[in-house]
Amino acid sequence: MDVYIHQNGVPLCDKWYTFKKDIFMKFSNLSLSKEMLHNLNEIGYKEMTAIQAESLPHILTGKDVIAQAKTGSGKTAAFGIGLLTKLQVKKFRVQSLILCPTRELADQVAKELRTLARATHNVKILTLCGGAAFGPQLGSLRHGAHIIVGTPGRILKHLKKETLSLENLDMLVLDEADRMLDMGFSEEINEVLDFAPQDRQTLLFSATYTDDILAVSKRIQKDAISVKTTSVETTNKISEYFYEVEHGSKLNTMVNIFSNFKPDNVIVFCNTKIEADEIANTLQDKKIDALAIHGDLEQYERNDVLVQFANKSARVLVATDVAARGLDIKELSMVINYDLPHSEETYTHRIGRTGRAGAEGLAFTLYESRQYDNADEYKNETRKFEDVTLLKAHSGFEMKPEYITLVIEGGKKDKLRAGDLLGALTGDAGLNGSSIGKIDIYDRQAYVAIENKFIGEAHKQLKNGKIKGKKFSVWTF
Ligand code: ADP
Ligand code: MG
Residues 147 and 286 in one domain: no
Number of domains making up the chain? 3
In this prediction, residues 335-350 reach a mean pLDDT of 90
Residue 302 has pLDDT above 70, yes or no: yes
Q: φ and ψ at 443, to 5 degrees?
A: -55, -50
**Structural domain contains residue 398:** no
Other CB atoms within 10 A of residue 140 CB: 15
Which residue has its alpha carbon closest to ligand 1 atom 9?
Answer: 74
Residue 10 CA to ligand 1 center (angstroms) comes to 28
Clarify whether residues 68 and 104 are in a common domain.
Answer: yes
> Among 393, 394, 349, 125, which Cα is nearest to 236's?
349
Which of 275, 368, 271, 278 has the alpha carbon at shortest distance from 324? 271
What is the CATH classification number for the domain harbouring 340? Answer: 3.40.50.300
Q: Are residues 369 and 453 in the same domain?
A: no
Q: Domain check: are 49 and 177 in the same one?
A: yes
Residue 287 lies in a domain: yes
With the most atoms of ligand 1 within 8 angstroms of its CB, the residue from 46, 52, 68, 73 to mutate is 73
Ligand 1 pocket test, pick from 55, 76, 111, 204 with the greatest ligand atom count within 8 Å of Cβ, gives 76
**pLDDT number for residue 10:** 38
Which residues form ligand 1's pocket by a CB distance below 6 Å? 45, 48-49, 52, 69, 71-77, 112
- Indicate the range of 36-50, 147-161, 421-435 predicted with least confidence: 421-435
Q: At 325, is the pLDDT very low, low, confident or very high (cuts 50, 70, 90)?
A: low
DSSP E strand stretches across 415-458: 436-441, 446-451
CA distance 435 to 457: 11
Q: What is the mean pLDDT of residues 61-90?
A: 94
| Residues near 460 by beta carbon (within 8 Å), at least 6 away in sequence | none
pLDDT band at 358 (very low <50, low <70, confident <90, very high): low
Q: Are residues 159 and 261 in the same domain?
A: no
Q: How far is the CA of 303 from the centre of ligand 2 (A)?
A: 31
Cα–ligand 2 centroid distance for 176 (angstroms): 6
Q: Is 178 contained in some domain?
A: yes
Residue 265 CB partners (closer than 8 Å, separation 6+):
309, 312, 315, 316, 317, 329, 331, 332, 333, 334
The number of the ligand 1 atom at minimal distance from the alpha carbon of 73 is: 3
Last residue of a domain, one of 390, 425, 447: 390
Q: Is residue 272 part of a domain?
A: yes
Asked if 130 and 48 sit in the same domain, the reply is yes
The rounded Å distance from CA 75 to ligand 2 centre is 6
**Mean pLDDT calculated for residue range 309-337:** 85
396 domain-assigned: no
- Compute, in angstroms, the gap from residue 380 CA to the centroid of ligand 1: 44
At 24 the pLDDT is 59
**What pLDDT digit, counting tens, does each position of 268-280 carry?**
999 889 999 999 9
Task: Identify the domain containing residue 310 by its residue range.
Answer: 237-390
Assigned domain for 214 exists: yes
Q: Residues of the chain with pLDDT > 90: what percent?
A: 62
Kindly state whether residues 23 and 83 are assigned to the same domain. yes
What pLDDT digit, counting tens, does each position of 129-153 carry? Answer: 988 889 999 999 999 999 999 999 9
Atom of ligand 1 nearest to the CA of 27: 23
Q: How far is CA 170 from CA 167, 192, 463, in A?
A: 9, 14, 42
Domain boundary among 228, 245, 262: 228
Strands (E), 157-200: 171-174
Same domain, 142 and 31: yes
**Ion ligand 2 — residues with CB < 5 Å:** 75
Q: What pLDDT does residue 258 have? A: 96
Proportion of the chain above pLDDT 70, given as a percent: 91
- Ligand minimally distant from the alpha carbon of residue 69: 1
Strand pairing report for 10-11 and 2-7:
antiparallel
pLDDT tens for each residue of 395-424:
889 999 999 999 999 998 999 988 889 888
Provide the pLDDT confidence category of residue 328 given band limits of 50, 70 and 90.
low
Same domain, 55 and 100: yes
Q: Give the residue with greater pLDDT, 84 vs 371.
A: 84
Residue 189 lies in a domain: yes
369 occurs within a structural domain: yes
pLDDT in tens, 163-201: 999 999 999 999 999 989 988 899 999 999 999 999 999
Domain end among 363, 390, 417: 390
Domain CATH code at residue 428: 3.30.70.330
pTM of the predicted structure, to 2 decimals? 0.65
